Every structure is written in C-alpha cells, then in structure tokens.
Copies of this chain bind each other. A is one copy, B any other.
Amino acid sequence: MPGLTEFELIGTLLKPLAAQSGGAFSLSDDAAFLPDPPSGYGHVVTKDALAVGIHMRAADPPGDMARKALRVNLSDLAAMGARPVGFFMALCLGPETDESYLRSFVEGLSDDVEAFNIPLMGGDIIRQQGPFVVSITAIGAVPKDDLLRRSGAQPGDGLWVSGTIGDGALGLLVAEGQGPDLFEADTSGLIKRYRIPEPRLALGIGLVGIANACIDVSDGLISDVGHLCAASSVGCSIAASSVPLSPMAREALKNEWQLMSTVLTGGDDYELAFAAPQQAEKDIKALSAEVGIPATCIGSFEAGEGLSVVDHSGKAMNFASTGYRHA
C-alpha cells in the first residue's frame, strides 16, 4: 500500500485495538496467547470473511464494513451463547485500498472494539490484486457443558426469533436503488440494518440453560431454521403472520405483498432463531425484557423433517429460493 508499510499499519493503526489484551503482546509476536477461560467455561471459535462487492458495496463507508465484519462473527458467538474474548483479523488489501480507506475502516472497527469490549489479538496484512477482503476469527467463552448448539431442538418446542426479520434484505434492496417507491418514510434505518447488524449477544448469553438449540439468521430465516431442523432431526412449521416485522417492513409489504418472500428468505438479519420448550415462555419473556431485545414465538417444532410456512389462512406458502447461497 502506498504510504504505510505493513509494520507501520500495525504499529500506528491497529496496535491501539490490542491495548486491552495482555496475550496479544501488542501485536508484536508470532502468535497471541489466549488466557484461560473462567472456571467451568471453554472457548468457542468462529470465522467469517467479507469481501467488497459481495457483502458490502464498494460505495459503502469503510467503517461500516469493519463493523459488519466484526459483528457477523459476534453474531455467531451469540448463537452459541458465548461472551466475546478477542478476535484475529486478516486484511487483504486490494490495489484500491488506500490509506484513507484503511483509516476509516479502523475508525469504525475501533468503535466496536470498545462497544463490545473485544480486543484485537493478532492477524495478518497482505496485498492482493482483487477487491478488499477482511477475514475475522472471533473467540468467545461459554459454560462448557451448556453451549447452545444447532442440534437439540425437540418436537413440541416453540420456534422463537429475536428482533425483526427482513430489514437487512430490504435494506440491501433500497441501497441498490430498488423499490424506493415502496417507502414513503426515511429508509436510512433499513440501510443501516443491512450495513451494521446488531449481534444479539446479551440474548444469546441469557439463553444458555433456557433454549434447546440456537442459530443466527444470516442466510435467511427459512434457510437457517432449515439448518436447525436438519441438525436437530426435527421438522418445523412457521406461521408467516407471526414473523415480527419492523414498521418499515410492514409498510413495504402493505404496498407489495410479494416482498414477503424477500423478508423470509433474504439474508443479513443476524437475529437469533431458537428452540425452547413451551414452559420456557416466561423465562424467555423475562430475559427479553431484561436485555431489551424482543423475542417472538413464530412457530413450533414437530417430529419428522422438513419446514413449512403457512399464511394467515393456514395455507402453505412456497418459495422459489430458500435462502441466499454464498457460493
């Protein structure tokens, strides 16, 4: 990169993000030392990469890309019921990744390092001839006998989701200039949800011991609940009319009902979808109120396999695509 060498980038821009981690050795060693988790806890590890042009638009603010890259990993930790411990980051700079882009990127990242109290512990910076790619590995701590898995859902369990579904996918539509006539109000909230998802950490951590299974909704509600069903060897029925929608999504659907397919199959929600026994309802509602994250029961698991979505009249809905396919 013109301007700064790898060592200068690490020394000036990234080192402050590692200040809270003794084991990061100020990013100056060959590897970082991971402190022991608290007694009874173990570590979980997740890794998600984002590329400009695919997961973020080239015109999107670099700081938002940084925050999204970290947050999609935090969302995976949330789905396991884990508390953030630290993260590792590889930056793959393209020919167009200049110093000002990187400074903005690190500024956004820095905000989230502080907000989520998760230090940078190590990583790598390379150059390559493509678009900017960032690969993050996040580490979390979870009670070792109690982590939330995708498997574990039981017939009779309710299917719950956090927050609202579909805003990420609608935000991408709007950001790309599609369907703006659907919205009379300000659409910046939708775009923000696409660019900067909200990892549901407090909810995930609280669901340990309450939920039987959990996944984060990244590929799309139907696709991800399908993964949960497959891992748990159960079937599931979703009531479309119960799926929680934001006021903006409700407005869009009022104007064009077909968008319900986008809402249910589009990606980038980063909400949690979880299975919990009927008697857990009170605990879930108390937890939801305590952490300030809505939780809604939208269906139920049943013996067998397969996922069905029924509309308000009880008729099965069909979708051409069941979720975003990465590759």
Chain A interfacial positions (CB closer than 8 Å to B): 1, 4-7, 9, 25, 28-36, 42-55, 76-77, 79-80, 82, 88-90, 92-94, 121-131, 133, 135, 137, 139-140, 142, 144, 147, 149-151, 214-216, 227, 231, 325-327
Residues of B within 8 Å of A25, CB to CB, are: 149
Instruction: Given the known inter-chain contacts A125-B327, A130-B130, please indicate yes or no for A31 contacting B45, CB distance below 8 A.
Output: yes
15 A–B pairs (Cβ distance < 8 Å), ordered by A: A7-B325, A32-B46, A33-B142, A33-B144, A45-B122, A47-B89, A47-B124, A47-B137, A49-B135, A51-B127, A51-B128, A52-B128, A54-B129, A93-B327, A128-B130
Residues of B within 8 Å of A144, CB to CB, are: 33, 36
Count of identical protomers in the assembly? 2
With beta carbons under 8 angstroms apart, the residue of B31, B214, B327 that contacts A127 is B327
User: Which of A25, A123, A124, A127 neighbours the largest number of chain B CB atoms within 10 Å of its CB?
Assistant: A124
Residues of B within 8 Å of A80, CB to CB, are: 29-31
Q: Are A47 and B327 in contact (CB under 8 A)?
A: no
With beta carbons under 8 angstroms apart, the residue of B7, B34, B133, B149 that contacts A42 is B34
User: Nearest chain B CB to A52's CB is how many angstroms away?
Assistant: 8
With beta carbons under 8 angstroms apart, the residue of B49, B79, B90, B131 that contacts A31 is B79
Residues of B within 8 Å of A52, CB to CB, are: 128
Q: Are A325 and B130 in contact (CB under 8 A)?
A: no
Q: Are B147 and A28 in contact (CB under 8 A)?
A: no
Instruction: Given the known inter-chain contacts A125-B327, A133-B133, please indicate yes or no for A30 contacting B54, CB distance below 8 A.
Output: no
Instruction: Given the known inter-chain contacts A30-B76, A34-B44, A45-B32, please indicate yes or no for A128 contacting B133, CB distance below 8 A.
Output: yes
User: Nearest chain B CB to A185's CB is how many angstroms away?
Assistant: 33
User: Which of A88, A128, A214 neighbours the largest number of chain B CB atoms within 10 Å of its CB?
Assistant: A128
Q: Are B44 and A327 in contact (CB under 8 A)?
A: no
Instruction: Given the known inter-chain contacts A54-B127, A326-B6, please indicate yes or no for A42 contacting B48, CB distance below 8 A.
Output: no
User: Nearest chain B CB to A274's CB is how many angstroms away?
Assistant: 12
Closest residue of chain B to A95 (Cβ to Cβ) is B130
Closest residue of chain B to A147 (Cβ to Cβ) is B33
Q: Are A55 and B130 in contact (CB under 8 A)?
A: no
Given A36-B42, A90-B90, A125-B327, 11 further pairs, Cβ under 8 A: A28-B227, A28-B231, A29-B231, A30-B76, A33-B43, A34-B43, A47-B135, A52-B128, A53-B128, A127-B327, A129-B130
